[in-house]
Amino acid sequence: MRVVTKIVPRYQETDKMGVIHHSVYPVWYECGRGDFCRALGMPFPEIEKRGLAQALVELNVRYHRPAYYGDELELVTRLTGMTGVRLIFTYELRNQNGELVNSGQTTLAWLDDKLRPLNIKKRHPDIYGLLLAAIDAGCE
Amino acid sequence: MRVVTKIVPRYQETDKMGVIHHSVYPVWYECGRGDFCRALGMPFPEIEKRGLAQALVELNVRYHRPAYYGDELELVTRLTGMTGVRLIFTYELRNQNGELVNSGQTTLAWLDDKLRPLNIKKRHPDIYGLLLAAIDAGCE
Amino acid sequence: MRVVTKIVPRYQETDKMGVIHHSVYPVWYECGRGDFCRALGMPFPEIEKRGLAQALVELNVRYHRPAYYGDELELVTRLTGMTGVRLIFTYELRNQNGELVNSGQTTLAWLDDKLRPLNIKKRHPDIYGLLLAAIDAGCE
Amino acid sequence: MRVVTKIVPRYQETDKMGVIHHSVYPVWYECGRGDFCRALGMPFPEIEKRGLAQALVELNVRYHRPAYYGDELELVTRLTGMTGVRLIFTYELRNQNGELVNSGQTTLAWLDDKLRPLNIKKRHPDIYGLLLAAIDAGCE
């Protein structure tokens, strides 16, 4: 599954170099991840109601070219790997000219509501199954 | 009581006009408020352990001159008014030349841990007393 | 003119009280202001190309009820006052139940590209005229 | 050279999981990088006056354990690699108990004031020399 999120840069997200500040991309990734889970019928608030949380354990970002205020960006979010305890999402952000602006990957761990590690495959096989069906195989 | 917080602007806090973005000042006020409560022996985590929270109900900010990356700023935080259910903090931010950069005021309401309004004078008279002694009378 | 901006709260915008942090609302106002100027045919990048900037001189925010992750909010932005050197925008934010979450007002000053004050009425009467026609009279 | 930056988490930096949001760490890294360059006698504003800029091309972050509001953190910033066109900084963040909270690495490219790539070794050998002397060899 590929989920597309439209991103309109905010003026507050610019910095004095005149471009979108590098710390904003992980926030946009999180928006993409939220849209992905929503598209899967499992929005974050639903996940939390079931006593679950996802915490970042690793973040990797590559900056290919700057994004600017006034751009109209498209973020593609895919689930590219998972185990019972981990999820890997991969992101690609392109501008209105189709140019690759930014790409990245996040690894998340499943936690319970006390923020303790948890195996989703064992404890919530329905969620595990939903995600498994959404993996975008054959990509990096 | 006047509590002074040293503020070093972050590069991320600048915008494409080359100045500190206007949405950052309320975050700095919150740092000042945190230092104020800490100086009073009542840091935020302590307040939360007692089942209390403070929520903003009103924010007023005046922008006198820009702040820049590289500035060394000083924020003065004072408690300038209160009732059993409300607190008013007043802020003044000056730069390394002593110039007034920004001033503002926040009104906060006391809440319990379910985010319901609460009268601190009735329920936690010790905290009320601490704060009462710290009011900076005779200012605006 | 009333411009409506759809706001989807980001997870990053929440705080440990479980609500949207109070410093986020001025950022949303700026989004509303951007949409307003775009709707008027005068988007921020266009304004900058003409050597103009708008700087906040005053910000007033009232917090009526919390906003939450998962909410679907609507921000209404109106231009409610202006002179040759100042603009006043007024904002109202409502949630999916039609409840007023937040309201506020910003006063902006026109600057040139050296960040010096400027009278738009004298220097750019076409922009002044556009804005004048968009004022939402008869409100607060 | 190892530069230590004291980090006091801000309430605004927490999220509804009750921990510091993952997007904040790159902002703290930037503070560490600023302190590093300042300690080297080459603060960011000085770099900019010489018509230079540094842009992130890669960011890698590992989240070892959560940071909380109320923590007192120490960030160690080191320059661990460089060429004429790239700089690699490595970061380690520990809490008041000496526990590793977060570690990461950023790769930056030198740009001129038009944001075009530039070889610092050729164009500004004095800055290149300063940095070369500050490399922390023998680490990861």
Is the pLDDT score of D73 beyond 70? yes
Contacts of A70 (CB under 8 A, 6+ apart): A9, C43, C44, C45
Across the range C97-126, mean pLDDT stands at 96
Q: What three-state secondary structure class fits B25?
A: helix
Across the range D95-118, mean pLDDT stands at 96
- Asked if A76 and A101 count as a contact pair (C-beta separation under 8 A), the reply is no
- Asked if A107 and A56 count as a contact pair (C-beta separation under 8 A), the reply is yes
- A122: burial class by Cβ within 10 Å (0-12, 13-18, 19+)? exposed
First to last CA, chain D: 14
Q: What residues in D contact B8, CB-CB < 8 Å?
A: 31
Contacts of A98 (CB under 8 A, 6+ apart): none
Asked if D66's CB is within 8 angstroms of A56's CB, the reply is no
D74 touches chain B (CB under 8 A): no
B70 touches chain A (CB under 8 A): no
Q: Looking at chain D, which residue has its C-alpha nearest residue A114?
A: D17
Which CATH fold topology does A2-134 show?
Thiol Ester Dehydrase; Chain A (3.10.129)
Which of A5, A7, A12 to probe the C interface (max C CBs under 10 A)?
A12
A12 touches chain C (CB under 8 A): yes
Q: In Å, how far are B31, B118, D19, D97 from C12, measured between CA atoms?
A: 19, 28, 11, 27
Q: In Å, how far are A30, B31, C111 from C87, measured between CA atoms?
A: 35, 30, 12
Contacts of B10 (CB under 8 A, 6+ apart): B69, D27, D30, D31, D34
D70 touches chain C (CB under 8 A): no
Which of A90, A110, A89 is closest to A100 using CA atoms? A90
Which of A88, A36, A92, A34 is closest to A63 using CA atoms? A92
Asked if C27's CB is within 8 angstroms of B26's CB, the reply is no
Predicted pLDDT at B89:
98
**Single-letter residue type at C66:** P
pLDDT band at D57 (very low <50, low <70, confident <90, very high): very high
- Asked if B42 and B95 count as a contact pair (C-beta separation under 8 A), the reply is no
A19 touches chain D (CB under 8 A): yes
Predicted confidence pLDDT, tens digits, chain B (140 residues): 999 999 999 999 999 999 999 999 999 999 999 999 999 999 999 999 999 999 999 999 999 999 999 999 999 999 999 999 999 999 999 999 999 999 999 999 999 988 899 999 999 999 999 999 999 865 44
Report the alpha-carbon distance of residue A129 to residue A63 in Å, rounded: 33
- Asked if B35 and B5 count as a contact pair (C-beta separation under 8 A), the reply is yes
- Asked if B113 and B77 count as a contact pair (C-beta separation under 8 A), the reply is no
Predicted pLDDT at A140:
43
Q: Looking at chain D, which residue has its C-alpha nearest residue B70?
A: D45
List the single residue in B16, B23, B69 with the smallest CB-CB distance to A14: B16
Asked if C14's CB is within 8 angstroms of D18's CB, the reply is no
Q: What residues in A contact D66, CB-CB < 8 Å?
A: 55, 115
Report the alpha-carbon distance of residue C49 to residue A3 in Å, rounded: 35
Which of B61, D35, B66 is closest to A16 using CA atoms? B66
Which of D5, D11, D35 to probe the B interface (max B CBs under 10 A)?
D11
pLDDT band at D140 (very low <50, low <70, confident <90, very high): very low
Is the pLDDT score of D139 beyond 80? no
Report the alpha-carbon distance of residue B112 to residue B118 in Å, rounded: 6
- Asked if B24 and B32 count as a contact pair (C-beta separation under 8 A), the reply is no
Q: What residues in C contact A12, CB-CB < 8 Å?
A: 27, 30
Beta bridge partners of C105: C60, C90
Residue given tokens 């352990």 in the structure block: B49
Q: What residues in C contact B15, CB-CB < 8 Å?
A: none
Predicted pLDDT at D117:
95
Give the number of other Cβ atoms within 10 Å of residue B81's Cβ.
17
Which of B11, B14, B15, B23 to probe the A interface (max A CBs under 10 A)?
B15
Q: What residues in D contact C14, CB-CB < 8 Å?
A: 15-16
Is the pLDDT score of A5 beyond 70? yes
C63 touches chain A (CB under 8 A): no
Rounded to a whole number, what is the largest CA-CA distance in chain C? 49
Q: What percent of chain A clears pLDDT 70, i.e. is strictly above it?
A: 97
Residue given tokens 């510091």 in the structure block: D20
pLDDT band at C138 (very low <50, low <70, confident <90, very high): low
- Asked if C67 and C95 count as a contact pair (C-beta separation under 8 A), the reply is yes
Instruction: Dig out the tokens for C71 from the structure.
Output: 């909410």
What is the Cα D21 distance to its own chain's centre? 18
**What ranges make up the beta strands (E) of chain B?**
2-7, 52-63, 73-82, 86-94, 100-112
Predicted pLDDT at D113:
87
Predicted pLDDT at C140:
43
* Lowest model confidence (mean pLDDT) among A102-106, B34-38, B113-117, D60-64: B113-117
The C residues from 81 to 140 touching A (CB cutoff 8 Å) are none
Report the alpha-carbon distance of residue A93 to residue A4 in Å, rounded: 10
C27 touches chain B (CB under 8 A): yes
- Asked if C20 and C68 count as a contact pair (C-beta separation under 8 A), the reply is yes
Q: What percent of chain A clears pLDDT 90, i.e. is strictly above it?
A: 94
Instruction: Dig out the tokens for A29 from the structure.
Output: 């990734």
Is the pLDDT score of A115 beyond 90? no
- Asked if D90 and D133 count as a contact pair (C-beta separation under 8 A), the reply is no
Asked if D53's CB is within 8 angstroms of A63's CB, the reply is no
Which of C13, C17, C48, C54 to probe the B interface (max B CBs under 10 A)?
C17
Query: How many angstroms away from the CA of D46 is the closest CA of chain B?
Result: 10
Q: What three-state secondary structure class fits D132?
A: helix
Record the pTM: 0.96
Predicted pLDDT at B140:
44
List the single residue in C17, C53, C61 with the smallest CB-CB distance to B58: C61
Across the range C26-46, mean pLDDT stands at 96
Rg of the Cα trace of chain D? 16
Query: How many angstroms away from the CA of B71 is the closest CA of chain A?
Result: 14
* Size of chain D, expressed as the number of residues it contains: 140
- Asked if C1 and C78 count as a contact pair (C-beta separation under 8 A), the reply is yes
pLDDT band at A113 (very low <50, low <70, confident <90, very high): confident
